[in-house]
Every structure is written in structure tokens, then in C-alpha cells.
Amino acid sequence: MRDFKHSLLNYSIKRLLQGIPLIILVVLFSFAIIQFAPGEPISLIAGGDDMTQEQIDYLTEQWGLDQPIHIQMWRYCTKMLRFDLGVSYRQARPVLDIILERLPYTLLLLIPSLLIATVIGVSVGVYCATHMHSTGDSVMTVAALTGYSVPLFWVGQMLILIFAMKLSWFPVSGISDLRSQAQGLAKAWDVFLHLVLPGLSLIFSYSAMIIRVMRTKMAEVLQTDFIKTARAKGLPESKVIWGHGLRNALAPVVTVVGMELATMVMGATVVETVFGYPGTGRLIFTAISNRDYPLIAGMFFFISVGVILANVLVDILYAVLDPQVRYN
């Protein structure tokens, strides 16, 4: 056990070190987004073209745009090391402050949705694998395929049309009712109601992917020799499935979730835009619409680093779930 923990620690450090070159490439790409983006930076900063030459020269010097490109790149990279992501053209505020202001809202939506989708996906996937070719399996398989294929924006619009506009069960957009003066539990309930529809959109998509992977892997595991041996020993079927089969089938699910993290973040961007939810996804959309390149580059860097770190965590979880895996 001690050797396993030691090798896992060494592997974790090794994976983090391997991620450094990728992070450097992300930083350089972020700089390229700002440097080679269409449009005159000074016009974007000033918000228009109606400026005198003196004003243009002043802003050019103030923002360091009169320096050679290698000097600008060096300054940008050193700022990144200090987690200084620059200043937004449109909002004239530090990019990091803007991102951290919106991040809690995205996490509030994304993490519960992913956890609920995982529970649903694993449970339904196990059911389908243990009831292959039954009516329930066929229905769930078609539902999973539909959820995986249907665009998220369409799902969101249908939920708004049915549950917000027709039935008036849930709010259409936002994170809370701006007219409400509620506090405490009443405020929490209002936030919850605003989270339901965007959360259901994400759960519908995420769980569909997990169901498909879980069904396939669990069906393979149930045909292996150690499962047949466990049944031959007279173990209860529930213990065979949930105690022995599930653990071996979960590792690929964790891997798939890790590989799809970037897709999930983009899905959250679509959902936040459809529902007018004030998270980082809508922030990306707004930054692109306004051609706020420092904010776009900052979001790109922030998301990329988050996905890299999350994939390292997924690799560690894979080793915990599958003791046969050893990392040197």
C-alpha cells in the first residue's frame, strides 16, 4: 500500500510537470489572440474611432503597444506568471477579477449538474447492462442517443417553452429575481428555481453520454471470469453487480468524463447564453461579441489550465478505482 501511494504521488508530480509545457503553449496562444486579432486595439480600447492623434499616441504608450512584439510577449508572459491576465478593453477592469466574479455562478451550475448526471448515468447504465435487449434497455438506449445527439441550445429552448412560458413553473433566465427582496431560505429557494432549467439541460446531455459508456463497459465486465467466479460462489447478484462489477466499470467512465471536460465547459457556455445565466460561459459570449480580446484570452487561459488540472485529477482517480493500474 505504501509503495502504491508513493508511486501515485510520483506520477501526480510527473503529470503536473508534463502539463507545464502545455500551459506555456496556452499562454503564447493567448498572446497571439490579442496580438493578431482583427481590428485596431486602440479603437477597441477607446470604444470608437473618433480620436485625435495625441489621444492615440497616449493610449498606445499607456498600453505598451508601441513596444516591439517580443517585448510585449515577454511582459505578457511575466504577468501571466503572477496571474495578471491583463485589463478588459470594454470594462476597464482586471480580467482576473471579472472571471473570479462570475466563476462561482458557473460552478454552482456545473458541479451539481455533473454529479447528478453521473449518478443517473451510472444507475441507468448498470440497469441497461443487466437487462440487455429488454424494453427498458431499448427505451433508455434511445433516450441516451437522443440526449447525446440533440443540440443543447434546442433542449434549453424547449424547456423554456414548456416549463417557463406554458406552465410558468420556473423562471426564464437569470440567477435570481431582481425585484425580490427575499433573504435567507427564501433567497436560496429563488436561486434554486432559476438553476432548475439550465441544470436539467446539462444533466440531459451529460447523463446521456455516461449512460452509453457505462452500459457498454458494464456489459463487458459482467462477462469476465471473476464475475462468473463470484456468481459460482453463491454471492448475491446485487453484491456481484454493485460490489464487484461496478468498480471495474467505473474507471472508463471517469476517463470519458475527463476527456469530455472541455466539451462540458462549452456546453455550459451554450446553456448560460440561452438562459441568460451570469456565469463564465455567458462572459465568454459577451467578450467575443464585444471583441474584448484580453478577456477572451484570459478566459481561454483560465479554462485551459482548469481542464489540464482536472485531467491530472482524473488520472489519479483512475488509479484509485483500478488497483491493477500502476504508475512508475
Per-residue pLDDT of 213-268, as tens digits, reads 888 888 888 888 888 887 888 878 888 888 778 877 777 777 777 766 767 777 78
| Number of domain units in the chain | 2
Place of cell 406552465: 167
Q: Which domain holds residue 134?
A: 100-289
Tell me if 34 is assigned to some domain. Answer: yes
Contact between 181 and 230 (Cβ < 8 Å): no
The pLDDT value given to residue 27: 78
| Confidence at 43, pLDDT banded by 50, 70, 90 | low
Check whether residue 186 and residue 38 sit in a common domain: no
Residue 94: strand pairing partners: 87
Tell me if 54 is assigned to some domain. Answer: yes
In the chain, what are the helix, strand and coil shares in percent, each to the nearest 5?
75, 0, 25
11-15, 127-131, 290-294: range with highest mean pLDDT: 127-131
pLDDT above 80 for 139: yes
Tell me if 95 is assigned to some domain. Answer: no
* Residues 94-125 as b or e (16 or more Cβ within 10 Å = b): bbbebbeebeebbebbbeebbebbbebbbebb
pLDDT above 80 for 172: yes
Place of cell 467505473: 250
Check whether residue 110 and residue 160 sit in a common domain: yes
Tell me if 228 is assigned to some domain. Answer: yes
Give me the count of residues in the chain.
328
Tell me if 10 is assigned to some domain. Answer: yes
pLDDT above 80 for 98: yes
Summarised one tens digit per residue, pLDDT across range 25-41 is 877 877 777 677 666 66
**What is the sign, positive or negative, of the torsion defined by CA atoms of 5, 112, 123, 143?**
negative
Check whether residue 297 and residue 284 sit in a common domain: no
What cell numbers appear for 216 in the block? Answer: 457498454
| Confidence at 304, pLDDT banded by 50, 70, 90 | confident
Tell me the whole-structure pTM to 2 decimals.
Answer: 0.79
Contact between 171 and 177 (Cβ < 8 Å): yes
Check whether residue 41 and residue 150 sit in a common domain: no
Check whether residue 63 and residue 175 sit in a common domain: no
Check whether residue 70 and residue 178 sit in a common domain: no
Mean pLDDT over 99-116 rounds to: 89
Q: Report the CATH number at residue 244.
A: 1.10.3720.10
What cell numbers appear for 136 in the block? Answer: 427498458
The pLDDT value given to residue 50: 64
Q: Which of 46-50, 162-166, 235-239 has the lowest mean pLDDT?
A: 46-50
pLDDT above 60 for 142: yes
Check whether residue 174 and residue 209 sit in a common domain: yes
The pLDDT value given to residue 327: 56
Mean pLDDT over 175-195 rounds to: 78
The pLDDT value given to residue 245: 80
CA-based Rg of the chain, rounded to a whole angstrom? Answer: 24
Check whether residue 250 and residue 261 sit in a common domain: yes
Query: Around 192, how many Cα atoms within 13 Å sit in the side-chain half-sphere?
Result: 6
The pLDDT value given to residue 40: 61
Check whether residue 246 and residue 228 sit in a common domain: yes
Tell me if 231 is assigned to some domain. Answer: yes
What cell numbers appear for 50 in the block? Answer: 473618433
Check whether residue 159 and residue 59 sit in a common domain: no
Check whether residue 303 and residue 191 sit in a common domain: no
Check whether residue 155 and residue 254 sit in a common domain: yes
Please classify residue 73 by burial: count the beta carbons closer than 10 Å to its beta carbon, then call 0-12 exposed, 13-18 middle and 19+ buried.
middle
Tell me if 14 is assigned to some domain. Answer: yes
Tell me if 60 is assigned to some domain. Answer: yes
What is the DSSP secondary structure assignment for residue 65, as one 8-state letter? T
The pLDDT value given to residue 75: 80
Mean pLDDT computed over every residue of the chain: 79
The residue that leads in pLDDT, 33 or 126, is 126
